[in-house]
Structure 1
Amino acid sequence: MFSKEEALQIKKDFWIAFAEEYPKKWLLYNTKIKDVTFKFYVDNKKAQVLLDIEPKDEEKRKIYYEKVESLKNILLEDYVEDAIFERNFYLENGKIISRVWVEITGISINNKNTWNTIFDFFNEKMSAFELFFYENEDYIKDLEINT
């Protein structure tokens, strides 16, 4: 087990190593849609690439999710074949968001031997998610176009 300080240092080292391995500017929070973001997540069991749809306005969350969901076949066939869709995803704090994500298991941020696997997974899946988003962003952003 690691102390709090050691765990923080491992996380810091992990993200620095990832940035050095894949030095690119990721889309992440810059979707230009408020509360629609891409995220990387890793812990001692899994790594995930996430598309979180979490506007406070429930109707907007529903619309954005349904727009992405209407593109599900395209996403699965052409970009991220193992993406998981969840309209109502419950965060630990009880908040309900919509989420589309992909994950790998059997890795750990605490095991440097799995870092390259995680880095490659992050790069492959986030690049594919971003390409999907860029190619469909006009449709996803426009709340006037119904699904």
Structure 2
Amino acid sequence: MYSKEESQKIKREFWVNFAEKYPRKWVLYDTKIKDFSFKFFVDNKKAQVLIDIEHRNAEKRIAYFEKLEALKNILEDEYIKDLVFEKEYVLENGKTISRIWVEKLGVGFSNRNHWDIIFDFFFDKMNALELFYLEYDEFIKAIE
């Protein structure tokens, strides 16, 4: 078991190595939709690529989620399989968001032998989600 400082150091090293292997600018928070973002997540049990819809207005949050849900067949047939769609996802802090994600279980950032597997997973899945988003962003944005 690592100390908090050791764990933070390994995590920093992990992200630096990921950026070196795949040096590109990701969309992430630059979606042009308020509180709609793409995220990477890794801990010592899994790696995830996520779309988080965190709009404070529940109606708008659900409207964006339902836009993505309407595109689910295209998304899964042409871009990425095994996505989990959750309209009401509760974060640890109690906040309810909408979340769509794909995950790889049995990997962790503290095991350097997993890094290339995680990096490739992150690249493949996030790249697919971004390509999908860039193709359908105008449709997704048009909720009003």
TM-score by length of 1: 0.97
Matches within 5 A, 1:1-147: 1-144=1-144
SS in 2 for 1:44: coil
The 2-side partners of 1:85 and 1:45 are apart by 20
Deviation at 1:90, TM superposition (A): 0.8
Structure 1 letter corresponding to 2:80:
V
Structure 1 letter corresponding to 2:38:
F
The 2-side partners of 1:7 and 1:48 are apart by 19
Count of matched residue pairs: 144
Per-residue CA distance 1:88-130 (angstroms, 9 max, x = gap) = 0110111110011000011111000000000000000000000
Structure 2 letter corresponding to 1:69:
E
Structure 1 letter corresponding to 2:129:
F
Instruction: Give the fraction of aligned pairs with identical amino acids, expressed as a percent.
Output: 58
SS in 2 for 1:13: helix
Deviation at 1:143, TM superposition (A): 1.7
The 2-side partners of 1:48 and 1:4 are apart by 22
Structure 2 letter corresponding to 1:35:
D
SS in 1 for 2:17: helix
Per-residue CA distance 1:51-73 (angstroms, 9 max, x = gap) = 00110011100100000100000
TM-score by length of 2: 0.99
Deviation at 1:142, TM superposition (A): 1.1
The 2-side partners of 1:108 and 1:72 are apart by 28
After TM superposition, the runs of 4+ consecutive aligned structure 1 residues lying more than 6 A away are none
RMSD across aligned positions (CA): 0.5
SS in 1 for 2:61: helix
